[in-house]
Structure 1
Amino acid sequence: MTDAPALRPAMNLPDPTAAARAARTHSLLHDPIGRTLARLAAPNVLAMFVTSVTSIAEAFFAGLMGVNALAGLALVFPLVMLTQMLSAGAMGGAISAAVARSLGGGDTSRASGLTVAAWIIGVGFAAGSAVLMALFGRTIFVALGGGDTAVAAALSYAGVFFPGCLALWLCNGTLSVIRGTGNMGTPSVLLFVASLGSIPLSGALALGWGPFPALGMAGLALGLIAANGAAGLVAIALVLSGRAGLSMGGALGRLRGEMFRDILRVGIIASVNSVQSVLTIVLMVALVGRFGTAALAGYGLGARLEFLMIPVVFGIGTAMTAMVGANIGAGNTPRALRVAWTGAVGAAVIVGGIGAVLAVFPDLWLRIFLDASDTATLEVGRAYFRTVAPFYAFFGLGLALFFASQGAARMAWPVIASLFRMAVAFGVALVLIGRTDMGVEAVFVGVACGTVVYGAVTAAAVRITRWR
């Protein structure tokens, strides 16, 4: 009889998957921070590494099609990354944080309703982005300074990617729900397989390997969409079957307006941050476009690596979002802050280390895509890394704290820091272009200054406000 009280909580759990989910939430709330964060982040980092390899492969395939294809990819890449940042990072992080806060507070029924809200939000955003690109895509690419061939290449990619981006929104939204339960392994495996599969598929569809048609830039986009669509279907099936530890029976009936508000109040602000980050790159692309196609292609390769730092930090950041969200939901803000600083320092060290290596050896990256004969493009890329890469640690610090702030639902200062970054980067670049003969390197100095400001302001804000 003395054992009955200890057994009762387990008896009330509906099934083993719910028990496993409850155990994961307990780990987020009570296990040692460093060890737990490392355990949760490890599969994410591995999956994000493969995702980065996918982006590298995409640029490599574009390089095989010529410098104009690379220039076209440089035009469309910021908008593609914006879609991925919004679906996986901004809205995805908001979804994960909302689910984690609900589970941290013991409300599993609300977590299943949030899942349905996440799917509806994803459909709306996907439809909106497809319509906007159909209406304004050419205007955007021309405004960025692309020549006729580069614009044509960008439109070919965008014509497939944006109508098909629903696959990314549903995939990333569903994986975010699963992460919110404390399960980082399943989303990582699905992303790993999808990313690994998209590399040969994109190459085959772009270059016409074997029986596949040579679709060029459109093929690159189609491979990415198809792989993510397959991963999304598997993730949705897992959630609907209850294997994520959430009971989805009657979830539609539990849907409430406040669930949309809970996701959107963090997600919209986080989306502003993502838009500002991409807009910063877009503005820099517009400035670099003044110096010709070779400069645009060289900067595009440099900016691509900066964007690839986002998945690296994302691997750590998603674990931080879940841990911070669960602890905020449980009312333990001091532990949530310790999680934030532990993860942020780790991200800064990793990203800063990558930057330090490439500042000294930029050809480790550039020669993946360029021949020794592409001297003009190589020189631009080398100048970018010499100037910007030494300050990547500030980018890693600020972005990691951005993910932590999502978990805490305190997004104002990360967005303000991103605004400062954009203003400083563009302002410094304009001044240097107008008053010096630095040429395209003036743009890179502006990017470096903005990166430092972003990390410093975000860190100072979290330190001072302590999410009060």
Structure 2
Amino acid sequence: MLTGPITPRLLRMAWPILVVLAVQTLVGVAETYFVGFLGTDAITGVALVFPLLMLMTMMSNGGLGGGVSSAIARAMGAGRRNDADALVWHAVVVAIAFGALFTAAAALGGPALYRALGGKGPALAAALEYSNLVFGAAIPIWIANLLASALRGAGNVKVPATLTAVGAALTLALSPPLILGWGPIPRLGIAGAGYAMIVYYLVATIAFVIFMLTPRSPVRLRIVRIEWRLMKAILGVGLLSAVGTLLTNATVVVCTGLVGKFGVSAIAGYGMASRLDYLLIPLLFAVGTATVTMVGVNVGAGKIERARHIAWTAATLSAAVTGLIGIAAALVPELWMGLFSNDAQVIEAGASYLRRAGPMYVFFGLGMSLYFASQGAGKVLWPVVASLTRLLVATLGGWYLLAEANGAVTELYWVMAGTLGIFGAINAIAFAKGDPFGQKKSELARHLTRRADANSNPVSPLSVR
């Protein structure tokens, strides 16, 4: 990772994750398809829970998970193998704490949140049933995702990819009979989708623990004394990244709530359409995971210029792929929406969003890729600023349209599309003009040190011959 061509190495690390996460995402689409047989209330219930569920998934994979990957990659790059191993147990402790936090938050605040998003009657009941199940299993979800992040940070992408593929197949096999009933298996409805997810993450957690106890693992799981310097290595990047993830998902929650003012069909349509936004995540996460590891290892080894080149190579690749997907979605949005519903109002509500947001996906891809590069470098302030700005524009712009301008839902979709462009632009400008690797600060520190040494050890004129 410290030498050789960048793009081939980036793609070699990214493609196993990309293929497997694409399969996992398609399984999620298939699960939504099966839930669709239960009716609009069930679809709406899933749509109401989806932002909070994605918040947890993104925080455990890309937020605090990114902190784990970054800390381990930098430790490996600097040759601190014992620290890299110790960071695995610290990651488990973090996972247990945040898993318990999400379980409590969903149980206590879920009903109020789903009502605020427009849920009521049977749709709210479906949302609560699904939410109580999936967030009840938050701890194994967090442990599995942070252990996967630890392996990826150490450069092993194959084991997490393989376990994800097996889990996707398991979920696909379990979802239809559990949701719809099959032979002796009773029809569990929306709860069946929750049970399928729980089984997958329990199996994944056990498999990760077993593998990371063996010598084949690049980093070993063993119980060690908790050290603040190691916890800080994870949380210093992970907490700020988690804030960025929280802001991103808060934007989705705000947008869902704003769309909810236009009725159940609008919520369902937007919920299904915005799943394409999240379909981009596996693509970006695949390249981003490779970017975190490669940038982190090179920063740890002091190879800053190579780390910068890796970051821009990954950003260009991500922007190109997401841009093509966005254009296709904008041109033929009905193809995507037709996968979930045959209700004309639901389809049109979602298609209207995709026509406006699709062309801006290129900026979303650019911004997310530079976010991952910043994680690898351990500097994530500007990506958080970009996420905060996006949230503020969506909130204030949406509020103005509804409260002051009496705007239509299509105008709200224009605001949402604009926030994607803002997110990408801020990240790109900050990365290009700023100091994402702390290089300028290091050079300034070295300069000040040289001046201090010169002042404390002046050369005497008498010593000059």
In the aligned structure 2, how far is the partner of 1:395 from the partner of 1:139? 30
1:409 aligns with 2:378: yes
Kept in 2, the 8 Å contact 1:323–1:339? The answer is: yes
Query: Where does residue 143 of structure 1 map in the other structure?
Result: 116
Matched letter for residue 239 of structure 1 = M
Identity %: 38
User: Any conservation in 2 of the 1:394–1:454 contact (CA below 8 Å)?
Assistant: yes
Q: Where does 1:314-463 land on structure 2 (aligned, <5 Å)?
A: 314-371=285-342, 374-436=343-405, 438-463=407-432
Q: What pairs up with 1:38-437 in 2 under 5 angstroms?
A: 38-248=11-221, 251-253=222-224, 255-371=226-342, 374-436=343-405
CA contact (8 A) 1:29 1:326 kept: yes
Given that residues 160 and 221 in structure 1 are in contact (C-alpha distance below 8 angstroms), is that contact kept between their aligned partners in structure 2? yes
CA RMSD between the two structures = 1.3
Distance in 2, Cα, partners of 1:364 & 1:88: 29
Deviation by residue 1:21-69 (Cα, 9 ceiling, x = unmatched) = xxxxxxx211311110011001011011012112211211221111111
Q: Residues 284-341 of structure 1: CA distance to partner in whole angstroms, max 9, x if unpaired?
A: 1111111110011001011111122112210110010000110111111111111111
Q: Deviations over 1:246-273 (max 9, x none)?
A: 355xx43354121111101111100111
Find the aligned partners of 2:225 and 2:398 in 1 and give their Cα distance: 51
Alignment-derived partner of residue 464 in structure 1: 433
Calculate the TM-score normalised by the size of structure 1: 0.91
Separation in structure 1 between the aligned mates of residue 253 and residue 261 of structure 2, nearest angstrom: 13
How far apart, CA to CA, are the structure 1 residues paired with 2:389 and 2:226?
38
Deviation at residue 245 of structure 1 after TM alignment: 2.3
User: What is the CA deviation profile of residues 188-228 of structure 1, one whole-angstrom value per residue up to 9, with x for unaligned ones?
Assistant: 11111111221221222111123322111111011012112
Would the alpha carbon gap of residues 430 and 238 (structure 1) be closer, same or farther in structure 2, given more than 3 Å must change? same
Maintained 8 Å contact 1:428/1:445: no
The amino acid across from 1:383 in the alignment is S
Q: CA deviation at 1:436?
A: 4.5
Residues 151 and 219 in structure 2, CA contact (< 8 A), matched pair in contact too: no
One-letter code aligned to 1:444: Y
108-117 or 206-215, which deviates more: 206-215
Whether contact under 8 Å (1:295, 1:380) holds in the other structure is yes
Cα deviation digits, residues 81-105 of structure 1 (max 9, x gap): 1111011111111101111100100
Q: Whole-Å Cα distance in 2 between the matches of residues 341 and 83 of structure 1?
A: 28
Q: Aligned equivalents of 2:379 and 2:193: distance in 1?
A: 37
Q: Which runs of 5+ in 1 are unaligned?
A: 1-27
Q: Within 1, Cα distance between the matches of 2:52 and 2:408?
A: 26
Paired with 1:67 and 1:191, the residues of 2 have a C-alpha distance of 30
CA contact (8 A) 2:295 2:307 kept: yes
Instruction: Name the TM-score, length of structure 2 as normaliser.
Output: 0.92
Q: Which runs of 5+ in 2 are unaligned?
A: 439-465
What secondary structure does 1:162 align onto?
Answer: helix
Indicate the structure (1 or 2) with the bigger Cα radius of gyration. Answer: 2
SS in 2 for 1:29: coil
In the other structure, the counterpart of 1:22 is none
Q: 1:417-465: per-residue Cα shift (whole Å, max 9, x none)?
A: 0011111122222233345564111221111111000000011111111
* Structure 1 residue 348, shift from structure 2 partner: 0.9
Q: Does the 8 Å contact 2:88/2:219 carry over to 1? A: no
Contact 2:73/2:154 (CA < 8 Å) preserved in 1? yes
Mapped partners of 1:133, 1:246: distance in 2: 33
